[in-house]
Structures are given as structure tokens and as C-alpha cells.
Amino acid sequence: KVYDYARSNDWEWFVTFTFSRDKVNRYDYDECIKKLSKWLNNLRRSSPALSYLVVPEQHKDGAYHFHGLFSGIDEKQIVWTGRYVVKRLKGLRSRFVRTSDKIYKIGSYKLGWMTATLVKDKEKVTSYITKYITKDMLNGLYGRKR
């Protein structure tokens, strides 16, 4: 269902959210969801056309962060960070190159770190976020907001 929803909508932004251990217990899924939901509700006030799809990812150490697809964000909420996407050159593990793709922030996210980049290829970002929807992840979150 997540894959179908992601593929059947037009998305403008690919976003990653992480949590600062000083502000959120990033090992507590329920706390992460509560804080992120509150931030999203606040963003909706300035962006009533907001649409999003957000999925969790759990690091090997147990900490959570989230990836999402967004559209309908008020342009006033989008701020360029002054940074660019850096990509690894194919076939060369230790070689990186700065691209012309800018990294943005959305709204006043102060729970940790956020990066937002324009979606260029909907199929790629859909595949990227759905790879985190696994049976093990869903079993661990049974009966909780997901």
C-alpha cells in the first residue's frame, strides 16, 4: 500500500528527519512519532495543501529516523541551507563529488536535523522509502501508529 500510495501521487520533496538526543528520546518510537506529528500539524497551518508520506527507519543501534515524500508546502517554509548534495562516484567508493542539487530545510524543524531535496525521479524515491517497510519493522510496531 505504501508503494502504491507513493507511486500514485506527485511529490515535490524528499525529506529526512533525525532527532537530537538532547530533545527527543530517539530510541522511543512513540515519542518520536508524537514529536514529529506535532511538527507536521504545525506545518499544516502554514501549508493547508500539505500532503506527505513518512516512513520510519531504525538504525542498528535502535535509534529511529524518518524519510518522507512531501508536496503542497508553502514556499515561505522552504529555506536553502547553503549546502549541496554530495554523491559517491559510481565504482569508486572513496571518490565523492558535489552536485548542483541544493539541500533545503522546511519550516522550523528544531527536533534534530532535516534535509529536503527536490524529487527528480519519483520511481527512485519511492523505491528508497519503501525498502524500509519490512515485515520485521512492522512486527515491532504492531498496534502502534505507523
CA atoms within 13 A on the CB side of 18: 9
Which amino acid, one-letter code, is at 83? Answer: R
The reported pTM is 0.85
Percent of the chain surpassing pLDDT 70:
90
The more confident residue out of 136 and 93 is: 93
Residues 6+ apart with CB under 8 A from 9: 51, 53, 69, 71
Here the cell at position 106 is 522546511
Burial (Cβ within 10 Å: 0-12, 13-18, ≥19) of residue 142: exposed
Q: What is the DSSP letter of 23?
A: T
Contact 120, 99 (CB under 8 A): no
Separation CA 12–CA 72 (nearest Å): 8
pLDDT at 135 > cutoff 60: no
pLDDT digits (tens, 9 = 90+) for 41-92: 999 999 999 999 999 888 888 899 999 999 999 999 999 999 999 888 777 6
Pairing of strands 96-106, 78-88: antiparallel
Q: What is the DSSP letter of 35?
A: H
Separation CA 61–CA 70 (nearest Å): 27
Best CA proximity match to 7, nearest among 125, 135, 97: 125
